[in-house]
Amino acid sequence: MERLARYVDARRLFLAGAIGLTLWLGATFLWHVTYRQGLTLAVILFLDQDFPALLIGLLLLALAAPFAEGRGFALRAPRARIIVPLILLFALVAWAGHYALFQDYAISRDEEVARFAAAYMREGLFARPIPPEWEPYRRAIMPEFFSPFGAADYWTAAYLPVNSAIQALFWRLGDPNLAGPALFAIGLFALWRVALHLFPERPDAVWVTMLLGLSSTQLFVTAMTPYAMTGHFALNMVWLALVLRGGVVGHLAAGAVAIVAAGLHQWHFPPIFIAPFILWMLLARRWTAAAFHALTLVAIVVVWAKLWPGFLVHMLGPPSDVRPSAGVADKVGSLFQRLGDRWQPLVNLSRFIAWNDIVMVPLAALGIAAMRWREAIRGREIALPLALGCVAGCALALAQGYGWGFRYAHGFIGPFCLLAGLGWVRFRPAGAMRPVLLAIGITAVMGGYLIWRTHAFVEPYAASHRMIDASRADVVLVDPRGGLYVTDLVRGRNGVPGKPMVMNLGMLTLEQVDQLCATYVVELFDRAEFRPLGVPLARWNLGRMDTLRAYMKEADCDKPVLPPLPETFDDAMNAAGGVL
C-alpha cells in the first residue's frame, strides 16, 4: 500500500495537463494576439493550426479525465518482430505523405536549398557552376541561403553538406524523398533500443516511450520533408544508444556519429545535445569517456567551422557577394543576437506542444520530478542529462519561420519520450496503459486537424510552383508583393535552375530587366496569378518595383504566366467545370 500511495492518478494527470495547457494557451494568445507583439509567420501558423488543435486537445483531455485511470488494452512485449514492422509502416506512410500532403513540394527556402545541394551532389559536384549568361542575375536566381565561397562563379548552399548528401544518395537509389522517412525509421529504432536499455523490467514503459514517439505529429510530418531536423532526431538517438552500449567501440562510433550529425546543416545543434551527457559522465567520474566526447566537440568545431570553409575556399575560391558566416565567433554572435531579437518561447513552445503527444510534456515533467537528486549529482541518473538537454532545446526558442511544430527542439523529442518513460516507471503501476492509449486517441484527432491545415497552407504554393514550372518562357520574373513568402517560389526544377529561369524581380536593376526583355521570352508571375490560387495576403510594397513594372508594361514585357493548356478532352472538361 505504501508503494501504491506514490502513484500519480491518471485522472489528476489529465486534469493538470488541461489546466496547465489552458493557462499557457491563454498567456500565448494574450501576448502574441491581444497585445500584438508582432504578427510573425509563427503567430500566423499558431492561429491557423496550433491554437485550434490545442483547444481541441485540452477539451478532450478534460472530457477524458474521469475515464483515464485503468489498465486499458494489454500490449504484447515490445520485441523486434512487432516494433520493426510498426516503424517501417510509419516510415512508408511518411514517404507517401510527401506526395499526398506536400504534393511533392518543399515549401521553405531551407528545404529548397537542401534539395538544391543534393541535386549537384548527385552529379558529383561540390557546387553548381553558374552559366556565364546568368552570372549578372545570379542573386535574383538564388536570393538567399547561398554560400559566399566562390559566389561569383558558383551557386552553393549555405548549409553544411551531410543532409543534402544523404538526399543525394537516396536520389541515386531512386527517390530523394525516401531520405527523411529512412532517418525517421532509424531514429525510432534507436529510441526503442535506448528504451529497452533503460527499462529492461518494464515493457509497458518501453511501449509508452515508443507510442509517444510514433504519435508525434511533428516527427511524422517533418519526415515527409527535406528538413535536416529528422536527421538530428535520428543521429541523436543513435549517439545515445551507442554511448549507453559503452565500451571502446560504442564510444568511438558515437564520436563518429556526432561529427556526421554536426555536418547535417549547422554544427551547433549536436553540441547542445551532447554537452549535458559530458557533465553526466564527469559527475560519475568517467573521466576517459568525458574527455573523449569533449574532444569530439572540439573536433566538430575544427572540421565544420574551420576545415570545411577552408576546403570550399580551396575548391571554389574566396568569399564574394556577402561576408562569410561559418566561423565560430560569427555563429556565437548570431545566436546571442537572435536570442535578443527573435526569442519567442510562448508561441514556439505552443507549437511544440500541439505537434507532439498531448501527454508527452506532463509525463516528461514526472520524469524530472522522479529524479533522485543525490544520485543525479553522482552521475547515476540519466534523467539529468536528458532533462538538461530538453530545457536547453526549449529555452533556445528562437523564431524558426516555417516548420511543423517547433523544429529547433526536434532533436530533443527522443529525450522527452525517454523522460516520459522514466516518469511512467516511477509514478505509474505496471501495465496500466489506459491513459496513454486515450492520449494517443486525442493526439490523433489533433494530428488529423494539423495535417489538414498543413495541406491547406502548402497547396497554394505548390500550385503556384507548378504554374511557374509549366511556363514555356525563357525567364519568369516573380513579383512577390501582395503575397506571404512568395519569394520562396524563386527556385528551379528538382533543385536545378533551368528553363524557365525563375528570378526575383525585386533583386534586378532596370538595366537588367531591359536586357532580359530584349534577349529572352519573359513572363511575369505576380498577385494576379498567385492570389486566386489562395496564397495568403501580405500587405507590403516596394516603390522601386513600381518603376520596374511600369517599364515592363511600356516595353510589352509583362505578359503573365498562364496555366498550361489541357492535354486531353477530359482535362479540358474538368478545367471548364464540366460545362459543354
Q: What is the mean pLDDT of the chain?
A: 89
pLDDT at 143: 87
Q: State phi, psi for 487 to the nearest 5 degrees.
A: -60, -25
pLDDT confidence of residue 249 = 96
pLDDT tens, position by position, 51-88: 999 999 999 999 999 998 888 888 899 999 999 999 99
Question: Residues with Cβ < 8 Å from 572, sequence gap 6 or more?
Answer: 566
C-alpha cell at 253: 562510433
| Structure confidence at residue 538 (pLDDT) | 77
Residue length of the chain:
580
Q: How confident is the model at residue 381 (pLDDT cuts 50, 70, 90)?
A: very high
Cross-strand partners of 523:
476
pLDDT score recorded for residue 70: 85
Q: What percent of the chain has pLDDT over 70?
A: 92
Q: What are the CA-CA distances from residue 580 to residues 235, 258, 536, 572, 577 (Å)?
A: 57, 63, 33, 10, 9
* Percent over 90 (pLDDT), the chain: 72
What pLDDT does residue 278 have? 97
Q: Which amino acid is at 159?
A: Y
CA distance 307 to 206: 41
- In the sheet that 501-504 helps form, which strands lie side by side, from edge to edge? 501-504, 475-478, 522-525
- pLDDT per position as a tens digit, 442-478: 999 999 999 999 999 999 999 999 999 999 999 999 9
Q: Predicted confidence band at 439 (pLDDT cuts at 50, 70, 90)?
A: very high
Tell me the pLDDT tens digit for each residue of 474-514: 999 999 988 888 999 999 988 899 899 999 998 999 999 99
C-alpha to C-alpha distance for 298 and 256, rounded to whole angstroms: 13
Instruction: Report pLDDT for 508.
Output: 93
CA nearest neighbour of 78 among 196, 251, 223: 196
* 569 membership: H or E segment, kind and range: helix 569-575
> Is 4 a residue whose pLDDT tops 50?
no
Q: What mean pLDDT do residues 337-348 have?
A: 70
Q: Is pLDDT of 301 > 60?
A: yes
Buried b (16+ CB within 10 A) or exposed e, 166-195: bbbbbbeeeebbbbbbbbbbbbbbbbbbbb
Helix axis angle, 203-214 relative to 360-369, nearest 10°? 140
Contact at 8 Å (CB) between 352 and 405? Answer: yes
Sequence-ordered alpha helix ranges (H) in 199-228: 203-214, 217-222
Q: Is the pLDDT of residue 303 over 90?
A: yes
91, 181 in Cβ contact below 8 A?
Answer: yes
- Is residue 393 within 8 Å of 61, Cβ to Cβ? no
pTM of the model: 0.92
pLDDT band, very low/low/confident/very high, at 1 (cuts 50, 70, 90): very low
Q: Could you give the CA distance from residue 181 to residue 173 in angstroms, rounded to a whole number?
A: 14
Three cell numbers, residue 167: 538526399
Residue 371 has pLDDT above 60, yes or no: yes
pLDDT tens track for 154-205: 999 999 999 999 999 999 999 999 999 999 999 999 999 999 999 999 999 9
